[in-house]
Amino acid sequence: MFNSTLTENEEFSCPVDGSIMITASHLPYNRNGFKFFTSAGGLGKPDIKDILERAADIYKNIANDDSKGAETAASLDVKRVDYMSVYASNLVAAVRKAAGNIEKPLEGFHIVVDAGNGAGGFFVGKVLEPLGAITSGSQFLEPDGLFPNHIPNPEDKTAMKAIIKAVLDNRADLGIIFDTDVDRSAAVDSSGREFNRNRLIALMSAIILEEHPGTTIVTDSVTSDGLTTFIEKKLGGKHHRFKRGYKNVIDEAIRLNSVGEEAHLAIETSGHGALKENHWLDDGAYLMVKLLNKLASARTSGLDGGSKVLTDMVEGLEEPAVAVELRLKIDQNHPDLQGGSFRDYGEAVLKQLENTVELDAKLLKAPVNYEGVRVSGYGGWFLLRLSLHDPVLPLNIEAPSKEDAVKLARDVLNAVKEFTALDTSALTKFVGV
């Protein structure tokens, strides 16, 4: 949809002035919504609020009869175009170009796709096959809004298991998985190893830093300490760990460039990634195209190890033995909120945690942090922050052992246990109390 606001193509009435997508994205099927785009990017909350208010006003001010007339007039003006073909052909052209203008640079590669019955099935017939790849074993390519097989989301463990199984069962070179509306993606190498979360960021950073040495990589707040070391020590880049939320990450990368700090990649652990070279569009298909480029160009230069070229690129990334996310709910109707908002309550919890940490010599608050309370200790770290949308405080913990993770969790529990509207049962269970 965003792409259609940028492409010059008269036959397809492009560039369009704006576009709207109806999707629940990676959320359950009953949480559909609208995403709005103009050539400046996806609209944010204030614009959407404005549009909805205007729409409500228009609706209020027209009599029923007028609305019927308007509907008829609008439907007469509708023209259907197969824009997906235009979009996909740009992806195909990008891979051909990267491989040195070879028509079928993926000939002989076996690549399976799991679209989770979202919109990503096109990638098989319109991108991989024209490039020569074998795609047998690809699954759940037909859109079905009830998602009968698994939730289409690379953050979902069942979804990742499904694509890993498809890769191993088919002895494929690579697996690719998308979320419903293809703004999140992840991959799996031929041995079933995931390129997901921090490992996907590490891989994308390696690719981008080859192209733009020294550049800044902007990520969300829940990324590992090991990722920072990898980006800065191994790849020679700079890791700017910002806030959660793909829009936050993208906007921050754009801001950095505007103040003279070069950034080419903005990416979240959720698998949402956007590149400067692709108009800062959080396009999961384009992210996967960057991996295909790597496969294809390795082949052109005589390396024929399939996905090994990708696996090798993340060598040296330190990964924690334990990584958990516990989501602590705030009961909005609890008397402890004293009629206040869950956000204020959440902020009070964070303040209390921050104060406690300052008094504990074993814990160290992150010197630079843009969201919530991030703390190092016992060889690991934790981050407690407010969810972007829900009355929830997500707690991420990474540590070298379960024991160390429990120590961090116990410190958080002790600091927040007075907040009776906060459901700490997941934390209590983790600590084993």
Q: Site residues (CB under 6 A) for ligand G6P?
A: 244-246, 268, 270, 272, 387-390, 394
Report d(CA 378, CA 257) in Å as an integer.
Answer: 36
Strands 364-365 and 373-377: antiparallel
The residue among 199 and 244 lying less far from ligand G6P, judged by its C-beta, is 244
The residue among 14 and 388 lying less far from ligand G6P, judged by its C-beta, is 388
The residue among 159 and 295 lying less far from ligand G6P, judged by its C-beta, is 159
Task: Provide the minimum distance between the beta carbon of 394 and ligand G6P in the complex, in angstroms, as a whole number.
Answer: 5
Task: Provide the minimum distance between the beta carbon of 240 and ligand G6P in the complex, in angstroms, as a whole number.
Answer: 17
Task: Provide the minimum distance between the beta carbon of 383 and ligand G6P in the complex, in angstroms, as a whole number.
Answer: 11
Task: Provide the minimum distance between the beta carbon of 330 and ligand G6P in the complex, in angstroms, as a whole number.
Answer: 12
Task: Provide the minimum distance between the beta carbon of 218 and ligand G6P in the complex, in angstroms, as a whole number.
Answer: 13
What is the per-residue DSSP string for 308-370? HHHHHHTTT----SEEEEEEEEB-TT-GGGTT--HHHHHHHHHHHHHHHHHT-TT-EE-SS-S
Task: Provide the minimum distance between the beta carbon of 248 and ligand G6P in the complex, in angstroms, as a whole number.
Answer: 8
The residue among 263 and 384 lying less far from ligand G6P, judged by its C-beta, is 384
Task: Provide the minimum distance between the beta carbon of 305 and ligand G6P in the complex, in angstroms, as a whole number.
Answer: 33
- The token duo for 376 is 């190092």
- The token duo for 175 is 């697996």
Q: Are 139 and 148 contacting, i.e. CB atoms less than 8 angstroms apart?
A: no
Write out the H or E segment, with its range, that includes residue 50: helix 45-61
The residue among 96 and 247 lying less far from ligand G6P, judged by its C-beta, is 247
Q: Can you name the residues that pair with 37 across neighbouring β-strands?
A: 19, 42
> Taking Cα atoms as reference points, which of 31, 4, 23 lies closest to residue 181?
23
Give Cα separations from 379 to 320, 364, 395, 400, 401 (angstroms).
10, 11, 17, 6, 9
The residue among 249 and 296 lying less far from ligand G6P, judged by its C-beta, is 249
Contacts of 135 (CB under 8 A, 6+ apart): 110, 111, 112, 113, 124, 128, 129
The residue among 135 and 180 lying less far from ligand G6P, judged by its C-beta, is 180
Task: Provide the minimum distance between the beta carbon of 340 and ligand G6P in the complex, in angstroms, as a whole number.
Answer: 20
What's the DSSP call for residue 39? T
Q: Which residue is nearest to ligand G6P (CB)?
A: 387
Report d(CA 306, CA 291) in Å as an integer.
Answer: 11
Task: Provide the minimum distance between the beta carbon of 32 and ligand G6P in the complex, in angstroms, as a whole number.
Answer: 14
- Dihedral (CA of 223, 229, 233, 239) sign: positive
The residue among 119 and 133 lying less far from ligand G6P, judged by its C-beta, is 119
The residue among 378 and 381 lying less far from ligand G6P, judged by its C-beta, is 381
Q: In what order do the strands lie in the sheet with 185-189?
A: 111-114, 174-178, 185-189, 194-195
* Helices and strands (H and E) in the chain: how many: 13, 17
- The token duo for 8 is 């010059």
Helix axes 83-98, 284-300, angle to 10 degrees: 30
Task: Provide the minimum distance between the beta carbon of 381 and ligand G6P in the complex, in angstroms, as a whole number.
Answer: 17
Residue 284, Cβ density class (10 Å: 0-12 exposed, 13-18 middle, ≥19 buried): buried
The residue among 35 and 212 lying less far from ligand G6P, judged by its C-beta, is 35
